[in-house]
Amino acid sequence: MALGRRELLLGMAGAALFSGRAAAQAEAPANWERYYDGYAQDGTVTFPRTRLSTLDPQWRRQLVKYKHKEPPGSIVVDTRNNFLYVTFENNTALRYGVGVGREGFQWSGRAQVGRKARWPDWVPPPEMLQRRPDLPRHMEGGADNPLGARALYLYRDGRDLLYRIHGTNEPWSIGGDNSSGCIRMVNEDVIDLYRRIPVGTRVLVLEHLDKSLPS
């Protein structure tokens, strides 16, 4: 690869940012390079393409049987099983594997996609800044931004719930529980989801049940 992991992480903002990212994201495995396959272009942004074959098959986008009561075209987020569904007719759904961050566990219920953004800026929440004053106050969108290629912002009754479905350039964090963030998807998947979901779409975030309990 032309671009090393460190450069990927450091991006434009230098060492302070690196520590910020360490806080915001899962630790990279030693063999991180195998998770990427060259680069892809999205608008003006060049980003490392995910080598999808490195993901466990269950985390890859696929059509599944899914018993649900949601109208077709809705999103269901299952934080317990690390899945996100776009519901289709006849109890089927398109299923994506997701990583679930700390904020992702803390809310469940019904919402709507109130806003969507491409290569969104990241503003660390005040409580995170309190713990980590070295974090940037504001980080511009781009290939190094922890929110990745897209963000879908969940609202209820016109209010931002601060619950987001977003991208990541850390494919190894999919299917896992992460120290930070909400619902993360590989950039290729969140780009795909963004196209399938108009603003206004209904979202059901299932209650986060303990994983040790039987399904």
Partner 1 sequence: MSGFIPRVCAVAMVVALGGCLGTDGPLSSGPVGDVTNAPVGAGINVTAGSKEDFIVNVGRRIFFAKDEATLDDTARETLNNQAAWLNQYTRYRVKVQGYADEPGGPAANKALGLKRAEATKAYLMERGVDGGRIRTTSRGNSEPTMRCADVSCWAQNRHVRTVLE
Query: Where on the chain is the footprint of partner 1 (CB under 8 A)?
Result: 23, 25-27, 56-58, 60-67, 71-73, 80-83, 92, 94-95, 100, 102, 105-106, 112, 131-132, 172-180, 192, 194-196, 198-202, 208, 210-213, 215
Separation of alpha carbons 181 and 29, rounded Å: 19
CB of 2 to partner 1, least distance (A): 26
Q: How far does CA 172 lie from the centroid of its chain?
A: 12
Nearer to partner 1, 7 or 56 (CB): 56
Instruction: List residues with catalytic annotation.
Output: 166, 182
Beta carbon nearer to partner 1, 1 or 199: 199
Q: Would you give the distance in Å from CA 36 to the centre of its chain?
A: 17
Contact 189, 96 (CB under 8 A): yes
Q: H or E stretch including 45? A: strand 45-50
* Strand (E) or helix (H) holding 117: strand 109-118
Nearer to partner 1 by Cβ, of 2 and 139: the residue is: 139
Cα–Cα distance between 35 and 42 in angstroms, integer? 19
CB of 60 to partner 1, least distance (A): 5
For partner 1, the closer of residues 2 and 180 by Cβ is: 180
Which tokens belong to 182?
């909400």
Q: 3-class DSSP state for residue 173?
A: helix
Amino acid in the structure at residue 197: I
Question: Which of 29, 91, 43 has the alpha carbon at shortest distance from 63?
Answer: 91
